[in-house]
Structure 1
Amino acid sequence: MTKRIGNKDIAQHRGKEEKQRVRASNIAMEAEKKAIAAAKYRNQVKGRPAPAAQA
């Protein structure tokens, strides 16, 4: 649930630039997560279990 100010959600009080900044940061975070996941499984053979984690 989003916080409320009176009858409106906080998101409704955000300016255009702030919304764009939040959206850009969310997209960047998702891209980073995706890159980490892709790197983790990059050279694995499909259908085989992952090798033990190397320290």
Structure 2
Amino acid sequence: MKIKIFLAATLLSIAPNLALAIGCSFREDPRAMLCADGTTWDANSRTCITNES
């Protein structure tokens, strides 16, 4: 019984970290998160460009 509790506690403590790691890896380019307010990532030019209204 102690093994089951240990394994459950271990999995529950690891699960949020894995979810965060997987969420960030789906972006096209991690530099896209570094664009300033008012700009977006352009995959073609691979730079941050100004948003057009």
TM-score norm. by structure 2 comes to 0.42
Q: Would you tell me which structure has more strand in proportion to its own residues?
A: 2
Larger RCO (alpha carbons 8 Å, 6+ apart): 2
- Give TM-score scaled by structure 1 length: 0.41
